[in-house]
Amino acid sequence: MESQFVDWVLATIGTDSRLEVPAGDDAAVLRPPAMRRTVLTVDMLTEGIDFLLGPKCSARAVGHKALAVSLSDLAAMGSKPEAALVAVCLPTRDGAAIGRGLLEGLQALAEKYNVIIAGGDTNAWDGPLVISVTAVGSVSPGSAWRRDGAKPGDLLLVTGALGGSLLGRHLAVEPRCHEAMFIAERLSVHAAIDISDGFSLDLSRMMAASNSGAIIRLADIPIHDDAVRSSKLAGDTRTPLEHALTDGEDFELILAMPPDAAHNLIALVGTAPISIPITIIGEVTQGAGLVAIGIDGTSAPLKPQGFLHVFDPPSP
Amino acid sequence: MESQFVDWVLATIGTDSRLEVPAGDDAAVLRPPAMRRTVLTVDMLTEGIDFLLGPKCSARAVGHKALAVSLSDLAAMGSKPEAALVAVCLPTRDGAAIGRGLLEGLQALAEKYNVIIAGGDTNAWDGPLVISVTAVGSVSPGSAWRRDGAKPGDLLLVTGALGGSLLGRHLAVEPRCHEAMFIAERLSVHAAIDISDGFSLDLSRMMAASNSGAIIRLADIPIHDDAVRSSKLAGDTRTPLEHALTDGEDFELILAMPPDAAHNLIALVGTAPISIPITIIGEVTQGAGLVAIGIDGTSAPLKPQGFLHVFDPPSP
């Protein structure tokens, strides 16, 4: 279901030697890198849920975010981005301007991470903007960072700083692709996940998949300035730490690594491309559940909290 | 951005030896077949534009159609289906029932064509149903059926029969994957496209991409019974032939083949898996444009007509 919009998009993007048949045919044909696995993920963003078009959120920002969140999933697998496919439903009002903005945001980020925009599909309707981006990556056989590989004794690390993304970072997502590729080439990572729904919630998912628990030292959680600012907003009753533990859309990585590898990684922070902080925040334990060690040394269960998509699974 | 719906979907589908990391992680990891290219396509369907949920269109039918149209693109490349990713935005009203129906339709078709459902993303909102399916296929290097490879002297063929899909076939799409794989393994195909927006419009796209024209013998166009029924509806002013030439969503294949290969294919019709008619309907010519030869032998330009997605490309 090609469209004039797709034709126009394709006319504005270049070709790439990785494509045997470029976008614009019924499908694109990609030369997969030799001796690599193919990594596949998709995310859909909808106006009114994931963003509100307006003075604080341009169509360009939406294009950026839509690709960035899928690239973040590729980073969380320790994989290299290769290609993306973009499906959109444009509001008929302002469809052309929105389409142009989306493409600008998509293209700028695709260039930064050397991602081919390999195709897409466009619809238009009298409704909100919807955009779905499929990202395709590559990884060496057996080396993808799964979420179920954490082992008791592994140290837990987090990239960047957490909390308060709703103040704007939830749009200006910077996927940790360069950092992930750099780490994947050099160091052992047993498990990884990206923080989309909230640190404690996504950590609990990684631990549950790994049949393990975790101890988290709250004093070591890297708290973003946005978390501090959020806690000062009128009506906000949460501390900066609570924001860091439960706010969604940080799109930072949580890694479980053997202690030697973790310390070697910390020693590399500041070396290109690791220009962001990386912090050891706890360790993997036997048993289930999360335990938080407070600043006073006391320990208590840490309840996984974050953003849960509302859905009631049907009865069988 | 995983969700409870995706968790539930994943719990209902099996694993597959082609997956090194199954769906349910940040991304799926696929073992690409050795010495094959990766074929990528995406389609988005929206309630109110592509379908109207109701007595004539169940959620199951939407799930079927959403995967079928992407598989049709893979067929149009002469490629083998491998995997699919599904992103949906469910209406909060009846979201669970709709989700269950979608999955039934997706799963049944995926099983038929041995497609892995490798992942997905789910949102919910107070809006119409939106579903986007990315299909991943494989093809031998250099052997994908492009739309720009038709050569003067090639014969033009079409699978199945055309027109009137709005009576119901536009939902019950049967992608021509088995036929395409069978043909691709045995016979030379210079160019191919699937009919999504209308026979004459999609043919004109294939000819324009190939810098060629085409002569079409109208007496040989296979007209579907649905086209005849459509032309008899109150208020319908078009002939069955006009429906066949311009209705969208047939999802049949147009092929350009060297004459020997075309005749060899016709001889195979009726052999499994070619259980549908395949008809020679014209030939590729030098120059541009489509020419129709009428039943009385007179020739006239054939205007490309069909469904065009409304979009005004922005000024640079």
B198: three-class secondary structure by DSSP:
coil
Residue numbers in B near A31 (CB within 8 A): 37-38, 141
Nearest CA in chain B to A93: B311
Q: Do A30 and B50 touch (CB under 8 A)?
A: no
Residue A311 resides in a domain: no
DSSP-assigned beta bridge partners for residue A130:
A46, A89
Q: Are A44 and A152 in contact (CB under 8 A)?
A: no
Do B42 and A311 make contact, defined as CB atoms within 8 angstroms? Answer: no
Contacts of B127 in chain A (CB under 8 A): 46, 48, 127-128
Same domain, B206 and B69: no
**Which residue is closest to A142 within chain B, CA to CA?**
B20
Q: What is the ipTM of this complex?
A: 0.92
Minimal C-alpha gap between B295 and chain A (Å)? 31
Domain assignment present for residue A147? The answer is no
A-chain residues within 8 Å CB-CB of B28? Answer: 39-41
Are B139 and A43 inside 8 Å of each other by CB? Answer: no
- Among B30, B89, B124, the residue with its CB nearest the CB of A40 is B30
- Strand A130-139 versus strand A80-91 pairing type: antiparallel
Whole-number Å distance between alpha carbons of B278 and B260: 15
pLDDT of residue B10: 64
Are A64 and A13 found together in one domain?
yes
Name the residue of chain B whose CA is nearest to A88's CA: B44
Contact between A271 and A179 under an 8 Å Cβ cutoff? The reply is no
Contact B27 A74 (CB under 8 A): yes
Instruction: Give the residue numbers spanning the domain of B273.
Output: 155-301
Length of chain B: 316
CA A18 to chain centroid = 24
- Judging contacts by C-beta atoms under 8 Å, the chain A residues touching residue B26 are 41, 73-74, 76-77, 147, 192-194
At residue A9, the pLDDT reads 66
Distance (Å) from the alpha carbon of B146 to chain A's nearest alpha carbon: 7
A42 contacts B132? CB cut-off 8 A:
yes
Strand order, beta sheet including A155-159? A191-194, A253-257, A155-159, A278-285, A213-217, A289-293, A299-301
Q: Quote the minimal CA–CA distance from A19 to chain B in Å.
A: 9
Residue B310 has pLDDT above 60, yes or no: no
Residues of B within 8 A of A141 (CB-CB) are: 20, 31
Among B144, B197, B311, the residue with its CB nearest the CB of A21 is B144
Please tell me which of the candidates A46, A135, A139 has its beta carbon nearest to residue B125.
Answer: A46
The residue out of B108, B139, B170 marking a domain boundary is B139
- Which residue type occupies A246? T
**End of a domain among A106, A139, A172?**
A139
Mean pLDDT by 10 residues, chain A (316 residues): 56 78 90 94 94 94 98 98 96 90 95 94 93 98 97 98 95 97 97 97 97 98 98 95 96 98 97 94 96 95 79 43
Query: Which one of B40, B194, B311 has the shortest CB-CB distance to A83?
Result: B40
> For residues A314 and A316, what is the distance between their CA atoms, to the nearest angstrom?
6
**pLDDT at position A11:** 64
Residue A65 lies inside a defined structural domain of this protein: yes
Cα of B214 to nearest chain A Cα, Å: 19
What is the torsion angle, in degrees rounded to the nearest 10, for the CA atoms of residue B137, residue A108, residue A140 and residue B25? -70
Task: Give the per-residue pLDDT at B316.
Answer: 38
Mean pLDDT computed over B238-262: 97
Same domain, yes or no, for B189 and B274?
Answer: yes
Alpha-carbon distances, residue A185 vs A80, A143, B79, B262, B292 (angstroms): 11, 10, 33, 51, 60
Asked if residue B311 belongs to a domain, the reply is no
What does chain A come to in residues? 316
d(CA A20, CA A38): 16
**How many domains is chain A built from?**
2
Distance in angstroms (rounded) separating the CA atoms of residues B134 and A43? 11
Residues A25 and A81 in one domain: yes
Whether the bond between A273 and the residue before it is cis, its omega within 30 degrees of 0, is: yes
Cα–Cα distance, B195 to B251 (Å, whole number): 5
Same domain? B133 vs B167 = no
Instruction: Decide if B257 is inside a domain.
Output: yes
Longest dimension (CA), chain B: 62
User: Contact at 8 Å (CB) between A125 and A31?
Assistant: no
Pair A56, A10 in one domain: yes
Closest CB from A5, A121, A309 relative to B4:
A309
Q: Domain with A30 in it: what CATH number?
A: 3.30.1330.10
Tell me, yes or no, whether B310 lies in a domain: no
Query: What 8-state DSSP symbol labels residue A51?
Result: B
**Could you say which of B77, B134, B147 has the minimum Cβ distance to residue A134?**
B134
Yes or no, beta carbons of A48 and B125 under 8 Å apart: yes
State how far residue A44 is from chain B, nearest Cα, in angstroms.
6
* Distance separating alpha carbons of residues A130 and A44, to the nearest angstrom: 7
B292 shares a domain with B164: yes
pLDDT at B23: 82
Q: Are residues B159 and B296 in the same domain?
A: yes
Contact between A49 and B125 using a beta-carbon 8 Å cutoff: yes
Residues A263 and A292 in one domain: yes
Residues A123 and A193 in one domain: no
Residue to substitute from A2, A3, A7, A42, interface B, most B β-carbons within 10 A: A42
On whether residue B79 sits in a domain, the answer given is yes
pLDDT band, very low/low/confident/very high, at B311 (cuts 50, 70, 90): very low
The DSSP-derived string for B11-74 is: HHS---TTEEE-BTBSSEEE-PPTT-EEEEEEEEEEBTTTB--BTTB-HHHHHHHHHHHHHHHH
Same domain, B47 and B99: yes
Predicted pLDDT of residue B24: 85
CATH classification of the domain holding A202: 3.90.650.10
Q: Do A27 and B135 touch (CB under 8 A)?
A: yes
Which domain-ending residue is among A77, A110, A139? Answer: A139
Select from A7, A13, A38 the residue whose CB has the most chain B CBs within 10 Å, as the one to mutate to test that interface: A38
- Indicate whether A293 and A201 sit together in one domain: yes
Residues of B in contact with A136 (CB under 8 A): 38, 40
Q: Does A190 reside within a domain?
A: yes
Q: How distant is the Cα of B274 from the closest Cα of chain A, in angstroms?
A: 22
Q: CB-side exposure of A82: number of CA atoms within 13 Å?
A: 23
